[in-house]
Amino acid sequence: MLKVLGRSTSANVQKVVWLCEELGLPVEREEIGGPFGGNDKPEYIALNPNKRVPTIIDGDYVLWESNACISYLASKHAAGTWYPDDLQERGDAHRWLEWSTSTLAPAHTPAFMGLIRTPPEKRNPDAIAAGRDNFSAQLAIVERYLDGREFITGSTITIGDMPLAILSYRWFNLDIEREDYPNLKRWYDGINARPAFQKHVSGIPLS
């Protein structure tokens, strides 16, 4: 059975378990990281020297980095659907995986960390507000790109939608001002209607 090492509240772990649920893959998940600790133990570092989550173990194969994990699992179990056969569509999916990691995730961090993981008396309102503005500016790119598209690469959901959807869940549920992004809302509502997303992402409180 596939093992997933990482806590359920981690956005990066959520990518993996959400995909596994969509594909009907049985998973044994262990709470690692955050309040559970364990990611600094020698046995975990031997698997993942970055001390981050998730790490997946598929038989005798060990893999870390969430985008690599979902690319591997989708190409193994869902080639042609979640992992497109068409090379340009696949390239599109990978582009959004990388952009979500390099641009959108860092943009959302100040608001998320400031509002969710910082006690009220220690919050920096100016940093949170600036972070919110940057988060919104990056999502405006997604809003424009989704115009005329059901999903980020076209008419079918792929791995490219996954990190965008998880970060959009945070956008729509943080206690912040939100611009009206109708394409983003339409797309997000469609993904949020999926039982697997509700189980592993939107059904889990932000923490």
Summarize pLDDT for 145-186 with one digit per residue, the tens: 999 999 999 999 999 999 999 999 999 999 999 999 999 999
In a domain, residue 155? The reply is yes
Band of the pLDDT at 121, cuts 50, 70, 90?
very high
Q: Taking the model in full, what pTM does it have?
A: 0.96
pLDDT score at 128: 97
In a domain, residue 207? The reply is no
Band of the pLDDT at 35, cuts 50, 70, 90?
very high
In a domain, residue 24? The reply is yes
Do 111 and 177 belong to one domain? yes
pLDDT score at 82: 98
Do 193 and 92 belong to one domain? yes
Band of the pLDDT at 187, cuts 50, 70, 90?
very high
pLDDT, mean of residues 76-86: 97
Number of domains, the chain: 2
In a domain, residue 153? The reply is yes
pLDDT score at 169: 98
Q: Which of 18, 50, 77 is the last residue of a domain?
A: 77
pLDDT score at 25: 97
Cα–Cα–Cα angle for 147, 103, 71, rounded to 5 degrees: 80
55-58 and 2-5 strand pairing: antiparallel
Do 61 and 122 belong to one domain? no
Q: In angstroms, rounded to a whole number, what is the distance separating the alpha carbons of residues 21 and 84? A: 19
In a domain, residue 206? The reply is no
Which H/E stretch holds residue 138? helix 125-145
Do 110 and 139 belong to one domain? yes
Range of the domain at 140: 87-199
Q: Which of 20, 50, 77 is the last residue of a domain?
A: 77
